[in-house]
Chains A and B, each alone.
Chain A
Amino acid sequence: MQWETVIGLEIHAQLATRSKIFSGASTAFGAEPNTQACAIDLGLPGVLPVLNREAVVMAVRFSAAIGADLERRSVFARKNYFYPDLPKGYQISQFELPIVGRGSVDILLDDGEMRSVGVTRAHLEEDAGKSLHEDFHGLTGIDLNRAGTPLLEIVSEPDMRSAKEAVAYARKIHQIVRYIGICDGNMQEGSFRVDANVSIRPLGGELGTRAELKNINSFRFLERAINFEVERQIDVLESGGKVVQETRLYDPDRDETRSMRSKEEANDYRYFPDPDLLPVELDDAFIDAALTGMPELPDARRARFCEAYALSQSDAAQLTASRELADYYEAAVQEAGDARLAATWIMGELAGALNRGGLDIGQSPISAVLLGGLLRRIADNTISGKIAKQVFETMWSEGGAADAIIQNRGLRQITDAGAIAGIVDAVVQANPSQVEAYRQADEKKQAKMLGFFVGQVMQASKGKANPTQVNELLRRKLNA
């Protein structure tokens, strides 16, 4: 039987506010347990939540970024369940009237095709604390620092048909929330969490029963978890079984999903409007202020890069992957005056060095302006591409500007025809037997043998002779 995979994602993006969504406790990551959990976060009696303006601003920005219907009036609701990392016995969330309504994002598939994925809704809610199940004499340890951290839960339509599409969509949302500065996107620290609802059905048939996959903390694991789960469900159905609706945890060590057996009850959350919070009402002034300073969005920037810098779709996509990288590229182009060269170097030399050092673009020891300065010297023929790589390495490890390094180390390219001719003569004189062999050879062989002489000249000039001139002068000399 031909099976079709149906995937919908629920993404929890922690909003990059300083304080919590309903309290003035800090949201900084990595603090000592429970030192950032105040009376409101602990759900002590008599406290009242007060909504953080910035969290609302960020939701408005997200809404605009995905072209969604922004709800001018939204309502917080209590989602009731009992779990020790949820001190109040309910999570403040939004249910019937979420702040962000229907929107969509476009994803670029491997075959170069664009596909639109629907976003059903996005709502504001508070994060829960963390349960540590390691051994505390058979007890569970609870850290409530995370409790009350603002989340935007972004719910997609079941529009994706493969693990790859799901990853492309998740990456797209990740890119957007980082571009607009509402989430740091750190998956390791749990700032950006992806749950996948996965089901299979006979091609074009009725929707099947879905499993919800959790504990996925990288895009790579998202792809693997979905692929494993699809295979598992096919096995279950083809052996005459039934898929049960359940939550399954992905185990990256064993690359499998496992049913989560916990004491949590089947979902029955009995939502109702939270009487502690009034409806959120947004007027034009609030929305305008929230959208001030919205950056150019990734899709628009990619399109502009293709146009303005004559880049291919895939190069433009790579260079606009993050706002920091795109900013870096544009600053380098401005300095270098050569968009193509800047693209090649940033995606090649720089990306390689960053990768080896485990750094991201924001941590590059060579600033965009400095890299642009180096590229300008390639563009104006002061140095060859090969020498530029040496200069790059020096800039990387010791810092400094390209011009100073070129000057101090005498790396300026030799373009003086007389000087190059001198070196060429010396090389020809020093290698009489090779010269003889060259003159005896046919044209095809000569082309190969020329490399030997070029190498000698470049060595003698310490790589500084202009390669085009060297080739030209050698050919003339040898054929004389």
Chain B
Amino acid sequence: MSLERSDVENIAHLARLAVNESELDAVAGDLSTILELVAQMNSADTSGVIPMAHPLHMAQRLRPDEVSEIDERAHFQSIAPATEDGLYLVPRVVE
């Protein structure tokens, strides 16, 4: 499977990555090579192999349902670009 320039543009946009026009072809080539590797792996017979969700063969540990965090708003908001009335301010998202 090989990627077109437009695919790369779309993926870059979804990931909010700025890819220069001049780099598009090279990136498309690199990504296509990776996909070829995946395609090659896909051709292996994996029937009977349980899909792996995580490289560690362990199960998730669970924590008790207890409130353990205190309010650190002032601390966190000291690094925010803009705040008001306790809210984080961001550029308007709805037209």
Contact = CB atoms under 8 A, between A and B. Distances in A.
B45 interface: no
Given A141-B84, A268-B14, A18 B67 contact: yes
A263 B88 contact: no
Contacts of B71: 35-36
Given A97-B53, A277-B60, A84 B90 contact: yes
A54 B63 CA distance: 8
A433 B61 CA distance: 91
A38 B15 CA distance: 25
B72 interface: yes
Contacts of B87: 33-34, 132, 136, 141-143
A131 B89 CA distance: 10
A18 B92 contact: no
Contacts of A97: 53
Nearest to A87: B88
Interface string A5-32: 0000000000001110001111000001
Secondary structure dominating the interface of A: loop
Interface string B61-78: 111111111011100110
B64 A142 contact: no
Given A138-B92, A139-B89, A139-B90, A42 B60 contact: no
Interface string B9-29: 000011110000000000000
B88 A34 contact: yes
Secondary structure dominating the interface of B: loop
Nearest to A75: B53
Contact of A136 (B54, B62, B67, B89): B89
B58 interface: yes
A35 B16 CA distance: 29
B41 interface: no
Nearest to A141: B87
B92 A19 contact: no
A413 B90 CA distance: 72
Nearest to A132: B87
Contacts of B82: 139
A279 B68 contact: no
B59 interface: yes
A23 B70 CA distance: 11
Interface stretch (A45-53, A295-303, A337-345, A381-389): A45-53
Contact of B56 (A80, A89, A278): A278
A318 to B, nearest CB: 34
A51 B63 contact: yes
Contacts of A35: 71, 73, 86
Interface in B31-73: 53-54, 56, 58-69, 71-73
Interface residues of B, number: 37
A339 B5 CA distance: 75
Contacts of A83: 93
Contacts of A80: 14-15
Contact of B94 (A42, A263, A281): A263
B63 A50 contact: yes
B68 A24 contact: yes
Contacts of B64: 53-54
Contacts of B15: 80
B93 to A, nearest CB: 5
A262 B92 CA distance: 10
B66 A18 contact: yes
Nearest to A143: B87
A17 to B, nearest CB: 5
B73 A37 contact: yes
Contact of B88 (A25, A36, A142): A142
A144 interface: yes
A51 to B, nearest CB: 5
A265 interface: yes
A232 to B, nearest CB: 21
B76 A42 contact: yes
B63 to A, nearest CB: 5
Interface in A34-87: 34-39, 42, 44, 50-56, 75, 80, 82-84
Contacts of A277: 54, 60
Nearest to B87: A141
Interface of A: 17-19, 23-26, 32-39, 42, 44, 50-56, 75, 80, 82-84, 89, 97, 131-133, 136, 138-144, 261-263, 265, 268, 270, 273, 275, 277-281
Nearest first, the 8 closest Cβ-Cβ pairs linking A and B are A24-B68, A141-B87, A54-B65, A53-B62, A281-B59, A33-B86, A38-B69, A278-B60
11 contacts: A18-B67, A34-B86, A35-B86, A36-B69, A53-B65, A55-B65, A138-B92, A139-B91, A139-B92, A140-B90, A277-B54
